[in-house]
Amino acid sequence: MLSDSHPLYDLLLAFHIVLAGISLVFFILLSRPIDPTSVTQLRQRFPGSRNWWARGFHLMVISGVGLLSAGDATQRSFHLWWVLGLVGYVAAAFALEARVLPLELRIAAVVRAEHPAGDELVAALQTYRRWASVAAGLVAVVVIVMITQPL
């Protein structure tokens, strides 16, 4: 919904939509299958450094709050879909920060070991993919709710 009174709102809305799309693609890429026997693929996917793309996910909620403050009275009035969006964001952020990123670092440490293949690695990769899929699903639901604004 574009705002006639605040051009900043239109810019923030475009930024917010782009961030949502990037976040969705990011989480889908995180949840794709990984071959535990391919050491090269594992080392490329899990370099052991901080995942800055994951940190960019949090810009989405900041831009959403900016939308609320830059919008006119119709955008600022209470809507239940805001609550659904925030709850979905918090759940996806929990999955990312509490599960996916720590597993990413743990997998990177195992991959850097001499013999990375093993039951521990396979179990960690399965858990990692499961939590990344949960986060991707949550972000997809939030994007759908924000686009359709059903409530």
> What is the reported pLDDT for 131?
93
Asked whether residue 138 is assigned to any structural domain, the reply reads yes
Return per-residue pLDDT of the chain as tens, 151 residues. Answer: 555 556 778 888 888 888 888 888 888 888 888 888 887 888 888 887 788 788 788 888 888 888 777 766 666 566 787 788 888 889 999 998 999 989 988 888 888 876 666 788 888 889 999 999 999 999 898 888 888 877 6
Asked whether residue 1 is assigned to any structural domain, the reply reads no
pTM of the model as a whole = 0.80
Asked whether residue 51 is assigned to any structural domain, the reply reads yes
Asked whether residue 18 is assigned to any structural domain, the reply reads yes
Asked whether residue 80 is assigned to any structural domain, the reply reads yes
Residue range of the domain that includes 99: 7-148
Count of structural domains within the chain: 1
Asked whether residue 89 is assigned to any structural domain, the reply reads yes
Each as own residue / partner, the long-range contacts of residues 128-133 (CB below 8 Å, 24 or more positions apart, any chain) are 128/34, 128/100, 128/103, 128/104, 129/31, 129/32, 129/33, 129/34, 131/95, 131/99, 131/100, 131/103, 132/27, 132/30, 132/31, 132/95, 132/100, 133/31
Asked whether residue 38 is assigned to any structural domain, the reply reads yes
- Pick from 96, 103, 98, 106: nearest CA to 135: 96
Asked whether residue 2 is assigned to any structural domain, the reply reads no
